[in-house]
Chain A
Amino acid sequence: MTGNPAMLAKGPGLEDDAVQLGRSVRLPVLLKRLRLKQLLPAATVAVLLGGCVPNRQSFPAVLYVAVSNPDGSQLTSESSALFRKRFSHLVKNFQRIHPNVVVQVALYPEAQLRNKLQQRNRAGLSPDLILTGSGVANTLLRAHLTDPLPESPELRSASSPELLHRLRNRQGQLAGQPLMVFPQLACYDRRRLTKPPTSVNGLLRISAAGVPVGLPMEARQLLWTAGTFGAIPGLYDASLGRKPNPQQTAQIRTWLSWMQQASDQQRFNFLPDQTSLREALIKGSVAWMSCSSGELDLLRKTMGTHLGVASLPNGDGHSASPVNRVRVLALGRNSSPLQRQMALALIHFSVGPLVQRSLTLESFSFLPSNPHVRVPVQSSGVLQAMVESNQQARSSERLASELHQGDPRLQSLQAKVIVPLLFGLVEPSVATERLIAILRRNP
């Protein structure tokens, strides 16, 4: 493919003309005879096939990474800068080992990711790596929008079996490699609350005492409260299609009664989503809220040292059951062999213990997915709270893997149980029956 473009573009009969003209044919005359319009397609082909030259190693490999933003449906310059900052640390270190790799990051609102990937896959332009939540990664693999991750002992040991279980489909394929864990925490305003509540009843008490409390009206974000009443096993059984036993049903009913009781309180606010809740904390209309560690950077930026972080309050005899978000790296479908090779290299690199530790300590916003990494909890209260939350989350691990983020049952739960319950339209006993019925439906 390194032939002379002029020869490639030679039209019929031109050779004869050249022979007739003999040595007197000069290059400008020849170029004039080869009209530009004829030359262009041939030149295009030559340029396009430039990719076939043997010395490809000298060209940089461009690695396309799509990152989904789980927060809301629109991106902001703050969230974009935050994601880029986080990812650029990883990429800079990776480029020290692979200097010939250029990484291009594109952020998508999580709600749009699937559609955009469909379009890009169809055009052969899919990203090489997708950094997204575990639930979305599962959905993408199911929709054949990503390739399953080739398993290796190194990658398997770089993650806990529970996390990997969340990412396996029915054929046992892995939807992605866990990269970081964002625990669900309690965020509060130190100016109005010196000590965060340690129990859910304590939460009701501070609310009754005049401290505004906020929770999101999203089923998955509220699951942590179910654990404080021991309702997780019943919910898990129902999610598998089994009928919870009477004790489990009673625990679910107690949980839902608590939620309705909380909703009845004047200063206990249920806001539509996590973004509204965060804005409410920044404005001061709530003083305590459940949050994800992924929000800490934005909250720190606006609240500074007034931001307090703690693990979520437990119940009487039962611990909270936060559903921690896991961000995973999944493989795109249209990569060239070199891009695939580099994508896997980046995955291997990013789950290494040293890289995971340095990523964690640079941001103080997430925990490493690699269980072999020791997090220095003594030096940071935030890290300690995250580690505590990670331990609390073990109780809901199996339920979280059954009820992943894209599960349609969550939508039904929200619309038919949570919202009517919080507005006092249904009694907790009715809501319990509805909830169990919805969960038992096979998605």
Chain B
Amino acid sequence: MRELAREALGWMGYLERGQVLVQLLAFAAALFLVRRLRPSIVASKLRRRWRALLLAISGPGLALALSGLLPLAQQSFGLLQFLAQLWLGWNLLGLSEQLLAHRLPMERVHQLFSRLVRPLFLLGAVLLLIDKLDSLNDLAVIPVGQLFGTSIELGTAFTAVLVSYLLLLGSGPPAAALAWLAQKFLGISEGSRKAMELIVRYAVVGIGVMAIGFHVGINGTALLAIAGGLSVGLGFGIKEVFSNFVSGIWLLFEGSVRPGEVLMIDGDPCEVRKLGLRATLLWRDRDNAELLIPNQTFFTEAATTYTASDCMRRSQVNVGAAYHHDPIAVIALLEATALQVPRVLRQPAPKGLLLSYGDSAINYALRFWIANPMDNVSICSEVNQAIWTAFKQHNIEIPFPQRVEYSMVWPPEQHTPNTGA
């Protein structure tokens, strides 16, 4: 690495050359001029699309024009031309991102550009610049270290890291397409499709990593040593990691925990957002919290789900009515009231129940079905409000215990009842 750092520092020596300085100054001048011109372009009456295009090409265009003038003064121009092309490329990337955002989901486009397109562009730009300053072939064979007795060269290490990154990022869409085709032609369930997608992705990444290992030159014995080390590691340190990984795959196949499912966690309904390599991400509506729960928790412990065979949830509110009201009429009113709440399902029909005779009221329960388990609290609130209104309209009293306070005189022998203090 010291050798590489020395090489990089050595490139500063090009600044001794007048021809290089002139090109860099011309580029700086183009940057400065465009910064000055920018407000006028922004304020111009051109259409928004044309204005964006003009902003994107004006700077690089100016730099390219300057690079065209340099040969007239017997000056080199390749560096300025190269920098202008990079500038233009970068600006056009921005434009294409905006254009794509009109057609595809913004988040997807942003992910594509921030994780793949822009990093690749910058990487390419740096490599091309180094190629102008030095020999890439030569830098690629600089040894950077040893791995299992194999000497690793800079180029090999770089390729390995780059391919791994591309595998991790790029294996997603093909795996999704394959799983989609399987669903289309074989009729597998949605959960199996997602499981298949994940497994294909893991397989591609796994095979890719093996291929990279062979490309780097790691021999089979070293891989066996890694496998041996892993098995010991599985027994001790990384048992939990492996357990979570396998649990995740199993749950996906089983379909019990998959994105969109609603599970009860600590008494709160939570929606599964993502089943990851180690943990599952859930969303809790109550406080908009996101919970990361290790996959093996769902694998080893009992879980309550509202979405295993259907998405309906049976909900219940409790209410008390005075003793002098006819329970049959109260129950009928409760059932009719529940039906008036829009998000309460008609079928199965709401059911009113007389639960018990309390100290000050007869206790009733109203059971009803809702379509989305996550809406339980808000629908219960709506039902409770509707019951209060209905009871008021039908003069049904909701009794509550009353407390009467008396002042006492001490000692009790001196106390006179009902006289107060």
A77 touches B138 (CB 8 A): no
B76 at the interface (CB under 8 A from A): yes
A61 touches B16 (CB 8 A): yes
- Which chain B positions have C-beta within 8 A of A37? 35
Question: Contact flags (1/0) for B99-140 with A, using CB distance below 8 Å?
Answer: 000000000000000000000000000000001111101101
A75 CA to B154 CA, complexed, in Å: 13
B28 touches A124 (CB 8 A): no
| Chain A residues within 8 Å of chain B by Cβ, number | 39
Q: List 5 A-B contacts (CB under 8 A).
A: A60-B13, A77-B151, A107-B138, A334-B19, A336-B18
A336 CA to B131 CA, complexed, in Å: 21
Tell me how far the C-beta of A343 lies from the nearest C-beta in chain B, rounded to whole angstroms: 13
A102 touches B10 (CB 8 A): yes
A224 at the interface (CB under 8 A from B): no
Chain B CB within 10 Å, residue with most, of A119, A124, A125: A124
Beyond contacts A74-B137, A107-B137, A122-B76: 4 other A-B pairs, Cβ-Cβ < 8 A, are: A75-B137, A104-B134, A123-B23, A124-B76
Could you say which of B77-85, B222-230, B292-300, B332-340 contacts chain A? B77-85
Tell me how far the C-beta of B66 lies from the nearest C-beta in chain A, rounded to whole angstroms: 14
- Which chain B positions have C-beta within 8 A of A48? 15, 21, 24-25, 28
A106 at the interface (CB under 8 A from B): yes
In B140-158, the 8 Å CB interface with A consists of 140-143, 151, 153
- Which chain B positions have C-beta within 8 A of A61? 13, 16
Question: Contact flags (1/0) for B214-237 with A, using CB distance below 8 Å?
Answer: 000000000000000000000000
Tell me how far the C-beta of A302 lies from the nearest C-beta in chain B, rounded to whole angstroms: 16
A334 CA to B21 CA, complexed, in Å: 12
Interface set of B (CB-CB < 8 Å, partner A): 7, 10, 12-21, 23-25, 28, 31-32, 35, 75-79, 81-82, 131-135, 137-138, 140-143, 151, 153
A125 touches B14 (CB 8 A): yes
- Which chain A positions have C-beta within 8 A of B16? 51, 59, 61-62, 336, 338-339
- Which chain A positions have C-beta within 8 A of B79? 123-125
Question: In the complex, what residue of chain B is closest to A73 when comparing beta carbons?
Answer: B137
A109 at the interface (CB under 8 A from B): yes
Tell me how far the C-beta of B71 lies from the nearest C-beta in chain A, rounded to whole angstroms: 9
A59 CA to B23 CA, complexed, in Å: 22
Contact of A77 among B28, B35, B134, B153 (CB under 8 A): B153
- B interface, by DSSP: helix, strand, loop or mixed? helix
B21 touches A51 (CB 8 A): yes
Contact of B78 among A66, A80, A123, A339 (CB under 8 A): A123
A41 touches B21 (CB 8 A): no
B13 touches A62 (CB 8 A): yes
A49 at the interface (CB under 8 A from B): yes
Question: In the complex, what residue of chain A is closest to B19 when comparing beta carbons?
Answer: A124
In A119-145, the 8 Å CB interface with B consists of 119-125
A102 CA to B143 CA, complexed, in Å: 22
- Which chain B positions have C-beta within 8 A of A205? none
A146 CA to B192 CA, complexed, in Å: 66
- Which chain B positions have C-beta within 8 A of A108? 135, 137-138
A33 at the interface (CB under 8 A from B): no
Question: In the complex, what residue of chain A is closest to B134 when comparing beta carbons?
Answer: A106
B31 touches A41 (CB 8 A): yes
A108 CA to B138 CA, complexed, in Å: 7
Question: In the complex, what residue of chain B is closest to A76 when comparing beta carbons?
Answer: B141
A64 at the interface (CB under 8 A from B): yes
A116 CA to B20 CA, complexed, in Å: 17
Contact of A66 among B24, B77, B135 (CB under 8 A): B135
